[in-house]
Structure 1
Amino acid sequence: MLQQIGSHARYIQSVLRGTAREDSAATPEYVKRSWLRCLTQYHLDPQSQREPFVLPRQERLARKEQNLELVSFADTEMAHLYHQLAGSGYSIILTDRDGVLLDYYGDLSFRNAAFRTGLVLGAVWSEEHGGTNGMGTCLFERAPLIVHRDQHFFSRNTGLTCCAAPIFDYQGDLVAVLDASGESDRAQQHTLVLVNMSAQMIENRMFLHRFRDASVVRFHSRPELVGTWGEGIIALDASGVIAALDRNALFQLGFKCTGELVGAPLERLFNISLSALVGRSQKKSFHALPIYDTRHGGRFFAVGPLRPRTTRYPQPGAVCSMSWSSAIR
């Protein structure tokens, strides 16, 4: 239920104290954690009517210049996501690591609400400035999430539903957030899945560009998903040792960080050498072939090595057979 401005602060306090008349159990823990940060760390007032913080023009231009590569790789995915959600009232937003809004695909029906709430280029949506919101809270939690209407900290934002997903670089540093925001009266899990899939494709494109001169091995536990947004990617340098792994590769192989793998040969991970994989891939016309995890014996399907620039990903609608739970892990 949308709260009146004067009651929103009381609503937040009642949920945090466990005295809310509504079912406070429906409020996600990450929202409660964010509310506490807003009250105790940032000293924000839920009923504040101050204008959203927008960077001066020159600083906005400098931010975009610093993130040209990110914006460039994100643009195609943002356009596809915008068209997928066409007619739903959602706008697609990209922020940098500090929550500064860098790029925006806006739905005309959402224009007035966007200006009212500060969803404009150069606006700062970190929690310190924007309170609990999809982009800022995603930056803190480092995970896909929905902030739905009254879950926003500031009263002026309680008409919004925000579905946000983080974007990481090849070193595992959070560099951006992709977000779909609108005035939907429902918290759309399906929208979050699409946003997260698009964010992962942006990550993959950035990874492949960063290692465009490396040899790349792509793999997945399901052969039909090799070449999609969910594949694991391993980059190997000229000497044939591991230079980097993306997040999907770490997740599928059960590792938490790349430290113990960078500099190791491919045989550290799989029961096949790089030269053998090259030979077998050529014989198979670069169709996915079975290989096995050396730690646990799990079966994967791999293609490689290929030059990253040859990889073309299907759009999210083509791979929706993957479970939603895996899509928003």
Structure 2
Amino acid sequence: MRPDAHLHHAERVHATLRDHSAAARSAVVASWLRSARDHGLDPETSRPPHRIEEARLREAHERLAPMLRAARPTLDRLLETVGDSGCCILLTDRDGVPLERRGRPGDDAAFLNWGLWTGMVWSEAREGTNGVGTCLAEGRALTIHRDQHFYTRNIGLSCTVAPLHDHEGRLVGCLDVSNCRRDADRAMVALVAAAVGDAARRIEAAHFRQAYPQARILLSAEEAGAEGALLALDRDDLVIGATRAARRLYGITAERIAAGLPASAVVGGPASTGDGLREAERGAVSRALARAEGNVSAAARSLGISRATLHRKLARLGLQN
């Protein structure tokens, strides 16, 4: 890197921010503006990333423990994919603090020097525009490549990041792959972005399945853009959980789930016909009979209703022989 590269970058950031229309044209410039105006940062700042205390780091680990357990196998596989390209992998919490890290031992010293290590703070408020912090600020997958970073000391990095959501669809952290080699070009970044996006979906899916171990998991195949749209169903085919992708695809809210949401009302056709509730009831009764091997009295007990009530339901639902 040329000796004047840092000075040139700082001048470019300041000049760009003086153009008040630039932020509307560029997401990166909008982040630069937040960094300078909202967080009071200076692109020439040379201080290293802040490291949180060990006690706070342990607390952060405990808060995100289920996600971390679900993520570890995927992180190990991702390292096999990108590790030999001079990349390190970080899984952070919602505050931009890496809690899990993967990298090749030969690259550790370089990444430690950059501050790409567990316990460091990479929020946008602390580090300005950067992969982790800007992903968390905007809630979307992105790449901050080289001189798109706000701080001049970070312009040697290329960071590709995807957000991570928990089993209730809440943003809880992100997955980052960073590279500090000079030969990291745009073509390589595109390949890394595909790997990061796939790994993030795998982590979310593993965490979701872990959160609902007794549920039946339904994967939506309705739309090409619905990767990771998973529903957790109980024994009565009521939706008890949905990933963020499923919530967005089907308009599922916590209130709808709490009120009792039949799976058929979500994926079984228009809710306005009234068929969803009838089919959900029919399915519940049919399963109760199957579990009771056709014994109506036993099925009624399992449903918490009388034998006479069950007979009336069987007639109404067309299930009587």
TM-score calculated relative to the size of structure 1: 0.73
Q: 1:38 aligns with which of 30, 35, 38?
A: 35
Structure 1 stretch displaced more, 255-264 or 157-166: 255-264
Aligned to 2:220, the other structure's residue is in SS state strand
Aligned equivalents of 2:141, 2:237: Cα separation in 1: 34
- CA deviations on 1:258-301 (whole Å, 9 max, x unpaired) are 3474222122121484676999xxxxxxxxxxxxxxxxxxxxxx
Note closer, same or farther for the CA distance 1:14–1:65 as it changes in structure 2 (3 Å cut): same
One-letter amino acid of the counterpart of residue 139, structure 1: L
Answer yes or no: is the 8 Å Cα contact 2:88–2:103 preserved in 1. Answer: yes
One-letter amino acid of the counterpart of residue 210, structure 2: H
Aligned equivalents of 1:110, 1:17: Cα separation in 2: 38
Q: Which residue in the other structure is 2:161 paired with?
A: 164
Q: Which residue in the other structure is 1:296 paired with?
A: none
- CA deviations on 1:107-146 (whole Å, 9 max, x unpaired) are 3453333122211210011011121111110001101000
Note closer, same or farther for the CA distance 1:256–1:194 as it changes in structure 2 (3 Å cut): farther
Answer yes or no: is the 8 Å Cα contact 1:100–1:125 preserved in 2. Answer: yes
Q: Which residue in the other structure is 1:194 paired with?
A: 195
Q: Which residue in the other structure is 1:94 paired with?
A: 91
Answer yes or no: is the 8 Å Cα contact 2:49–2:120 preserved in 1. Answer: yes
Q: Which residue in the other structure is 2:219 paired with?
A: 218
Answer yes or no: is the 8 Å Cα contact 2:168–2:244 preserved in 1. Answer: no
Unaligned stretches of 5+ in structure 2?
A: 270-275, 288-321
Q: How does 1:143-158 map to 2 (within 5 A)?
A: 143-158=140-155
Question: Which stretches of structure 1, 4 residues or more, deviate above 6 A after TM superposition?
Answer: none
Q: Which residue in the other structure is 2:13 paired with?
A: 12
Aligned equivalents of 2:243, 2:78: Cα separation in 1: 22
- CA deviations on 1:4-63 (whole Å, 9 max, x unpaired) are 2222221112233459xxxx99x9822111111110011011111112100122222232
Quick check: which has more Rg, 1 or 2? 2
Aligned to 2:47, the other structure's residue is in SS state coil
Q: 1:73 aligns with which of 70, 74, 79?
A: 70
Q: How many positions carry a matched residue from both structures?
A: 267
Note closer, same or farther for the CA distance 1:47–1:257 as it changes in structure 2 (3 Å cut): farther
Answer yes or no: is the 8 Å Cα contact 1:89–1:109 preserved in 2. Answer: no
Aligned to 1:79, the other structure's residue is in SS state helix
Note closer, same or farther for the CA distance 1:28–1:71 as it changes in structure 2 (3 Å cut): farther
Note closer, same or farther for the CA distance 1:28–1:177 as it changes in structure 2 (3 Å cut): farther
Answer yes or no: is the 8 Å Cα contact 2:242–2:252 preserved in 1. Answer: no
Aligned equivalents of 1:66, 1:53: Cα separation in 2: 20
Which of structures 1 and 2 has the larger relative contact order (alpha carbons within 8 angstroms, sep 6+)?
Answer: 1
Note closer, same or farther for the CA distance 1:28–1:84 as it changes in structure 2 (3 Å cut): farther
Note closer, same or farther for the CA distance 1:256–1:143 as it changes in structure 2 (3 Å cut): farther
Aligned equivalents of 1:192, 1:28: Cα separation in 2: 23
Give the CA deviation at 1:231: 4.7
Aligned to 2:84, the other structure's residue is in SS state coil
Q: Which residue in the other structure is 2:316 paired with?
A: none
- CA deviations on 1:66-110 (whole Å, 9 max, x unpaired) are 322221111111111110113211111110111111011113453
Higher helix share: 2
Aligned to 2:85, the other structure's residue is in SS state coil
Q: 2:55 aligns with which of 54, 58, 78?
A: 58
